[in-house]
C-alpha cells in the first residue's frame, strides 16, 4: 500500500464524512453506493481489507472498524491505514474489533442463528503456541458457512480480533460430544478468562483464521 492510495482513501472518507454519519440509519441506493466505493478503494490497497460501520455507544457518532478478514499478512496494512487517519468529527477510527463488555447471546448471519450456549471450547498450549478447539453440535461442512462466521464474531467479541489473529496459532472445528462437560470442555462464555491466563506475552503469528 503506497502513500498516495492511502491519502486518496482518507480524502474520500473526509469528503463524505457527513454522509457517512447517516449511513447507519439509511438503506438508500446512494448510501450503498458510497459504502461500495469505500470498500473498493480498500480492496485496491489490499484485497483482504474490510471496514465495518456502526453507531457508537452514545448514538451520536459512528465507528469505522477496519480489519483484514483474519489474514495475518495484512495486519500491518490495517495498522498503518488507521494510524494515517485524519481527525474526523464524530467518527472514531479503530483497528480491529475490540472485546465487548456485553457478549451477545446469539448472532444472526444470513438465515442462520448461532446461540452462544451452543459453542464449547478447549484451549491448550503446545510449546509456545496456543491452540483453540471449537465444538459445535451441527458442524458446518463449508468453511464459509454462516455458522462459522457467527462463531468468529463471538470470538472477536470475547477475545478481540487482534489477539485472536496474533496470539492464537490455530482454530480447530470439531463435533460436539454428547456430554461436553464430561470431556473437559467448557462453554464459550468462559473463554476470555482462560485465554487471559494462557495468552502468550509475545504475539505469535500463526495460521490465518478465516
User: Cα separations (Å) of 182 from 18, 177, 191?
Assistant: 54, 9, 17
pLDDT of residue 206: 40
175 three-state secondary structure: strand
Q: Which residue in the block uniquely carries the three cell numbers 453506493? A: 33
pLDDT of residue 208: 37
Task: For the full predicted model, state whether its pTM sits above 0.85.
Answer: no
pLDDT band, residue 134 (cuts 50/70/90): very high
Domain range summary for the chain, segments of one domain joined by +: 3-95, 106-198
pLDDT of residue 207: 38
| Beta strands in the chain, from DSSP E residues, in sequence order | 50-55, 62-67, 91-95, 106-109, 112-115, 120-126, 129-136, 170-175, 186-187
Please give the DSSP secondary-structure letter assigned to residue 36: H
In the chain, pLDDT over 90 holds for what percent of residues?
Answer: 54
Give the Cα separation of 25 and 108 in Å (integer): 19
pLDDT band, residue 62 (cuts 50/70/90): confident
CB 49 within 8 Å of CB 66: yes
pLDDT of residue 117: 95
Phi, psi (deg, nearest 5) at residue 99: -60, 155
Contacts of 77 (CB under 8 A, 6+ apart): 1, 45, 46, 48, 49, 68
pLDDT of residue 28: 54
- Work out the mean pLDDT of the chain and round it to a whole number: 86
Give the Cα separation of 210 and 151 in Å (integer): 11
For the segment 76-87, what is each residue's pLDDT rounded down to a tens digit? 999 999 999 999
For the segment 164-197, what is each residue's pLDDT rounded down to a tens digit? 999 999 999 999 999 999 999 999 999 999 999 9
**Which residue, among 82, 73, 36, 50, has the nearest Cα to 153 in the 3D structure?**
50
Amino acid at each position: 500500500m503506497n502513500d498516495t492510495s492511502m491519502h486518496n482513501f482518507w480524502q474520500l472518507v473526509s469528503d463524505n464524512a457527513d454522509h457517512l454519519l447517516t449511513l447507519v440509519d439509511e438503506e438508500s441506493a446512494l448510501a450503498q453506493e458510497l459504502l461500495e466505493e469505500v470498500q473498493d478503494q480498500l480492496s485496491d490497497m489490499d484485497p483482504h481489507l474490510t471496514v465495518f460501520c456502526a453507531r457508537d455507544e452514545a448514538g451520536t457518532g459512528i465507528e469505522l472498524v477496519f480489519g483484514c478478514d483474519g489474514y495475518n499478512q495484512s495486519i500491518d496494512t490495517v495498522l498503518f491505514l488507521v494510524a494515517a487517519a485524519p481527525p474526523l468529527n464524530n467518527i472514531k477510527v479503530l483497528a480491529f474489533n475490540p472485546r465487548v463488555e456485553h457478549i451477545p447471546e446469539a448472532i444472526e448471519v444470513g438465515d442462520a442463528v448461532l446461540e452462544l450456549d451452543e459453542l464449547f471450547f478447549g484451549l491448550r498450549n503446545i510449546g509456545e503456541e496456543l491452540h483453540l478447539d471449537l465444538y459445535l453440535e451441527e458442524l458446518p461442512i463449508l468453511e464459509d458457512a454462516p455458522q462459522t462466521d457467527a462463531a468468529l464474531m463471538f470470538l472477536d467479541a470475547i477475545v478481540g480480533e487482534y489477539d485472536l489473529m496474533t496470539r492464537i496459532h490455530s482454530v480447530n472445528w470439531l463435533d460436539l460430544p454428547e456430554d461436553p462437560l464430561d470431556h473437559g470442555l467448557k462453554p464459550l462464555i468462559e473463554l476470555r478468562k482462560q485465554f487471559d491466563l494462557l495468552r502468550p506475552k509475545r504475539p505469535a503469528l500463526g495460521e490465518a483464521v478465516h
